[in-house]
Amino acid sequence: MSRFENKLCPICRAPFTSDADIVVCPICGTPHHRACYLAKGHCGVEEYHARGFSWVGYLPDEAREPEPARETDPHHAEYPEGTPAAESGFTQDVEQEIRSAEEYYNSFYNSMNDETRGADGVSMKELTTFAATSTFHYGRAFSIFRNRANGKRIYVSMNLCSGLFSPIFQFYRKMDLFGLLLIVLTIITSAPSLLVYAGLITADAVPAWFNSVYMLCSFINFGITVALCLFGDYLYYRHAVKSILKIRSRFGDELGQEYYEALSESGHPSWLRAVIGFLVMAIATAAITVLPRMFIQ
C-alpha cells in the first residue's frame, strides 16, 4: 500500500488512504478507487494511453512538488577540502545511484508497456497484462525468454513456487491440463510410499525390487520439482503466448481497452482453481491409499 498511499485518484482527485480499495489500469498502471473506476467504466487517463503514458507515481497533469531542502544534520561531519574523502564525491555518487535506480525503474515499466510484437507474435504489453500480478518477476522472465544471449535462447528463470507448490501453483495460474498431468505424475511417483501407508508393503515382507523402485520414484519426484523451479516460468510463458493469440483472434483488429481487459481477466490468477486442484489431489491420494486397505480387510 505504501506505493499508492497519498497518490491521487485520476477521477475523484482524492489521495489514497492506507485502507483504500484500489484497482490498477492494466494498460498504464494508474491506480484508481475501485468505485471511481467502476463508475467511469474505464481508466481516468485513457486519453494519454495513445501517447505511451505509464504511471510512475504521478498523473500526467499533476504538478510535482519540488523536493524540500535538506535539513542540516548537526552531527554531520564535513570533510576538509583536499582530503581523499572530500574529493571522492561521495554525496554525488549516492545521488547518481539514486537517479540511476529511478531511470532503471522507469525504463523497466515503460518496456512492460511496449506494444512491439516479437518473434513469438505477442508484445510485452500483452504478456504483462495477461500475467496481471507479479509483473516485475514475469516481466523480467518474459524479457529473458524473448531475447537471445549469444544467439542462444534462454529457458531458465528461477521460480520456487512453481516447483515447491506444484500442482497447486499451476492451477492458480490457470494451467489446468498441465496441473492435472502433474497430479498424475505426483501420484505415480508417490506410489511406493502410498503402498506402505496402505499396508500392502510391510517391513516383514519387502519385495527385492521395492527399494530400487522407491529410490527411483523419489529421484523422479525430486527431479520434477527442480525442473519446475527452473523451467516453470518458461512453461507459463508458452501458455501465456498461446492464450493471448487465442484471445486476440476473437477481437480481430480492434485491440483497444476491451481487448486488454479481456487479457487481464483471462490471465488473472484464480484461488478457486488452486483450492479445487488441491482437493482433487487430496481426494486422489486418499482414494489410492484407503481403497486397497478396504479390500484387504
In the predicted model, is pLDDT for residue 67 greater than 60?
A: no
Q: How far apart are CA 112 and CA 125, in angstroms?
A: 5
Q: Is the pLDDT of residue 203 over 90?
A: no
Per-domain residue ranges of the chain: 1-61, 160-296
CATH of the domain spanning 1-61: 3.30.40
Cα–Cα distance measured from residue 129 to residue 151, given in angstroms and rounded to the nearest whole number: 28
Cα-atom radius of gyration of the chain, to the nearest Å?
A: 26
239 three-class SS: helix
Q: What is the pTM of this model?
A: 0.64
* CA angle in degrees (0–180, nearest 5) for 46-49-51: 135
Confidence of residue 36 (pLDDT cuts 50, 70, 90): very high
What is the pLDDT, as a whole number, of residue 199? 67
Mean pLDDT of all residues in 274-297:
78
Closest CA to 59 of 46, 45, 38, 75: 45
CB of 168 closer than 8 Å to CB of 272: no
Tell whether the model's pLDDT for residue 104 goes beyond 80.
no
* pLDDT on residue 65: 57
Q: Tens digit of pLDDT for each residue in 156-170?
A: 999 999 999 999 999
Average pLDDT, the chain: 82
Buried b / exposed e over 31-48, threshold 16 CB at 10 Å, is bbbeebbeeeebbbbbeb
β pairing state of 152-153 and 31-33: unpaired
In sequence order, which ranges of the chain are alpha helices (DSSP H)?
A: 34-40, 84-87, 90-111, 124-131, 135-146, 160-164, 168-172, 176-189, 191-198, 210-251, 257-267, 271-296
**Residue in the structure block whose three cell numbers are 490457470:** 174
Please, which pLDDT band fits residue 99 given cuts at 50, 70 and 90? low
